[in-house]
């Protein structure tokens, strides 16, 4: 395992799409030694609503100490705001914003959920 990085995480693992498998994938990542996992639902627009509900359920029901993050859709469309509302849960360590066109996007995300300012990475 890598040493602790600048933000306190040593080995975050990306957990790819297929939200129905998210809880199982989170458990596998933690068993492999990851201290954080990022779920990216990467599904076609027609499946966004279903995938969002599955991701929210996975976050709420995943046990363990691993930090859980969810990559949300862009905030300049309807999907990003819906993502924030759906995944907000005490178990969630944070959200990963998609590539921002401007720094204002990060501020917009924080205001939507009353979030504290976090590190800007990327």
- Contact by Cβ (8 Å): 108, 75: yes
**Overall fold of domain 12-111:** TIM Barrel (3.20.20)
Percent of the chain with pLDDT over 70: 64
Tens-place pLDDT, residues 40-52: 767 888 888 888 8
pLDDT band, residue 6 (cuts 50/70/90): very low
- Comparing 53 with 21, the larger pLDDT belongs to 53
- Contact by Cβ (8 Å): 46, 14: no
Ordered by start, the domain boundaries in the chain are: 12-111
- Contact by Cβ (8 Å): 30, 58: no
pTM for the model:
0.69
Tens-place pLDDT, residues 52-63: 888 888 888 887
């Amino acid at each position: 395992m890598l040493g602790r990085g600048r933000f306190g995480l040593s080995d975050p693992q990306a957990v790819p799409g297929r939200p129905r498998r998210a809880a199982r994938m989170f458990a596998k990542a933690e068993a492999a030694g990851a201290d954080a996992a990022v779920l990216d639902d990467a599904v076609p627009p027609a499946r966004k609503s279903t995938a969002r509900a599955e991701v929210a359920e996975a976050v709420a029901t995943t046990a363990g100490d691993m930090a859980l993050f969810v990559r949300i859709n862009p905030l300049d469309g309807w999907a990003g705001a819906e993502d924030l509302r759906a995944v907000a849960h005490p178990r969630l360590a944070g959200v990963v914003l998609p590539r921002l066109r401007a720094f204002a996007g990060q501020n917009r995300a924080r205001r939507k959920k009353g979030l504290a300012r976090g590190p800007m990475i990327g």
